[in-house]
C-alpha cells in the first residue's frame, strides 16, 4: 500500500463532504465554521514557542516537510492529524496558536488552538513541565470568545462557537511525564485510580466547555503508550516489543473515558461528544507497519529515535536522522510522522462524521 493511499471509505467520505461543503468550509454555513483545540503536544501548533519551557519544536528538523519547510512548533516533520482533518473539512488555513501574533483579527474567525506540549488533564503535569495547564487553556478560550465577538459581532460569534468543532487531546503526558516518573504519585495512586482522577477532570472540563457554548466535541483516547519508542527505552527494561503494562493502563483509561462520555451525553442536552479511538489504528500500524507502507515502527526518524523529543535531543545536529520520514511511523521518540498522522486522520474523519453532520 502506498504511504499516502487513503482507505476507500475515507475517500468516499471526503468526497461527500466536499459535495456538501460546495467550496471553502470557512465560508460555508453547512459545515463547521471553526476548529477550537485544547490539549498537549499531539495537537499543539506552536503555543509553546511563546512560553519558557524545554518542550518546543520551533527549530529544525521539526517541520522539514511542512509548508515552506518551516518549523512552527508542531512536534512532527509535517502536519498533525488535526491539520489533515482541517484539510479534509475544507479549511485553507489552520486556526492559529492562541499565543502567536497570528491570533488576531479575522484569523480568529476560523477558531484557535490553545494546546500546549507537555500539558495534560492534571494541571500538575503542566506545571511540572512548564507548560500551559488545561485550566489555563480554558481561561484563554474565554478571552478568545470576547475577541471573537469584537471581530465578528456578538450574534455571529455565538453562532460560530455553537457550530464549531472542538478537539481535546490530552492524557499521554499525564502518564509518561508525570505518573510513571513521579515516585510519590505512583505510590499514592494505582494506575486505575489515577485514570479515574484524570477522567474526573475530563468530565468537569467538558461540562465547563459545554457551559461556554460548545456542542460538538471530539476527544482523542490515549494511544498505545507502551509502544512509543521513548516508553520502550525508559520503561521496557531491555525487553523486546511494547511495554504491555503501560498499554494495559492506557486501555483502562480509554474504557473509563468512554463510559464518562456516555454519561455526559445523557446529562447535557444537545451535546455531541465523540471519543476518537487512537489506540487501535496506531497499534495496528505499529504491529504490521508494512501493511501501511512503513518500514520502521520501533524508533523515530530523528536521531537515534529512541529518546529524542526536546531541543536537547532532536535538533539540527542530531546524528543519524533519516532522510525519508514517510518510511517511519514515528518522527521522534514520542510523536507520529506526518505519514502516520495521515492514517490516523483518515480514522478520525470516519469516527467523527456525527460531529460534522
Whether residue 212 is predicted with pLDDT greater than 90 in this model: the reply is yes
Arithmetic mean of pLDDT over the chain: 90
What's residue 281's pLDDT? 97
Q: So where are the chain's domains? A: 8-356
What's residue 249's pLDDT? 98
Identify whether 335 is a catalytic site residue: yes
**What percentage of the chain carries pLDDT values higher than 90?**
80
Quickly state the pLDDT bin for 239 (edges 50, 70, 90): confident
Question: Are 47 and 100 within 8 A, CB to CB?
Answer: yes
What's residue 94's pLDDT? 96
Identify whether 104 is a catalytic site residue: no
Identify whether 136 is a catalytic site residue: no
Please give the CATH topology (third level) of the domain spanning 8-356. Rossmann fold (3.40.50)
- Give me the residue label for grid cell 464518562: 260
The C-alpha angle 284, 288, 289, rounded to 5 degrees, equals: 100
Instruction: Note the Cα 181 to chain centre separation in Å.
Output: 22
The whole-angstrom separation of Cα 62 and Cα 69 is 9
**333, 335, 337, 347: the active-site residue:** 335
**41, 116, 195, 221: the active-site residue:** 41
Q: What is the pTM of this model?
A: 0.92
**pLDDT tens per residue, range 22-47:** 444 344 443 799 999 999 999 999 99
- Give me the residue label for grid cell 484569523: 107
**49, 83, 332, 346: the active-site residue:** 332
> Could you report how far apart the first and last alpha carbons of the chain are, in Å?
30
What's residue 354's pLDDT? 84
Quickly state the pLDDT bin for 21 (edges 50, 70, 90): very low
Amino acid at each position: 500500500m502506498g504511504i499516502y493511499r487513503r482507505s476507500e471509505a475515507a475517500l468516499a467520505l471526503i468526497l461527500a463532504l466536499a459535495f456538501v461543503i460546495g467550496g471553502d468550509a470557512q465560508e460555508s454555513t453547512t459545515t463547521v465554521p471553526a476548529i477550537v483545540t485544547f490539549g498537549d503536544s499531539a495537537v499543539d501548533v506552536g503555543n509553546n514557542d511563546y512560553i519558557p519551557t524545554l518542550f518546543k519544536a520551533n527549530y529544525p528538523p521539526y517541520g522539514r516537510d511542512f509548508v515552506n519547510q518551516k518549523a512552527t512548533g508542531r512536534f512532527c516533520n509535517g502536519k498533525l492529524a488535526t491539520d489533515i482533518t482541517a484539510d479534509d473539512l475544507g479549511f485553507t488555513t489552520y486556526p492559529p496558536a492562541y499565543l502567536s501574533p497570528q491570533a488576531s483579527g479575522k484569523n480568529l474567525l476560523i477558531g484557535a488552538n490553545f494546546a500546549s506540549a507537555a500539558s495534560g488533564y492534571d494541571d500538575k503535569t503542566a506545571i511540572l513541565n512548564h507548560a500551559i495547564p488545561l485550566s489555563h487553556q480554558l481561561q484563554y478560550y474565554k478571552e478568545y470568545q470576547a475577541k471573537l465577538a469584537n471581530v465578528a459581532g456578538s450574534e455571529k460569534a455565538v453562532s460560530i462557537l455553537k457550530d464549531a468543532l472542538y478537539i481535546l487531546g490530552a492524557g499521554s503526558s499525564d502518564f509518561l511525564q508525570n505518573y510513571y516518573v513521579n515516585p510519590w504519585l505512583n505510590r499514592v495512586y494505582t494506575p486505575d485510580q489515577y485514570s479515574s482522577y484524570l477522567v474526573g477532570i475530563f468530565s468537569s472540563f467538558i461540562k465547563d466547555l459545554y457551559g461556554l457554548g460548545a456542542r460538538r466535541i471530539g476527544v482523542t483516547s490515549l494511544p498505545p503508550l507502551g509502544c512509543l519508542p521513548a516508553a520502550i527505552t525508559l520503561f521496557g527494561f531491555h525487553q523486546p516489543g511494547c511495554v504491555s503494562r503501560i498499554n494495559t493502563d492506557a486501555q483502562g483509561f480509554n474504557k473509563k473515558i468512554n463510559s464518562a462520555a456516555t454519561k455526559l451525553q445523557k446529562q447535557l442536552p444537545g451535546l455531541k461528544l465523540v471519543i476518537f479511538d487512537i489506540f487501535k489504528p496506531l497499534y495496528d500500524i505499529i504491529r504490521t507497519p508494512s501493511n501501511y507502507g512503513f518500514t520502521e515502527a520501533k524508533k523515530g526518524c530523528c536521531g537515534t529515535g529512541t529518546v529524542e523529543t526536546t531541543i536537547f535531543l532532536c535538533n539540527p545536529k542530531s546524528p543519524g536522522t533519516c532522510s525519508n520520514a514517510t518510511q517511519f511511523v514515528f518522527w521522534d521518540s514520542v510523536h507520529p510522522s506526518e505519514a502516520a498522522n495521515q492514517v490516523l486522520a483518515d480514522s478520525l474523519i470516519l469516527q467523527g462524521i456525527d460531529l460534522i453532520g
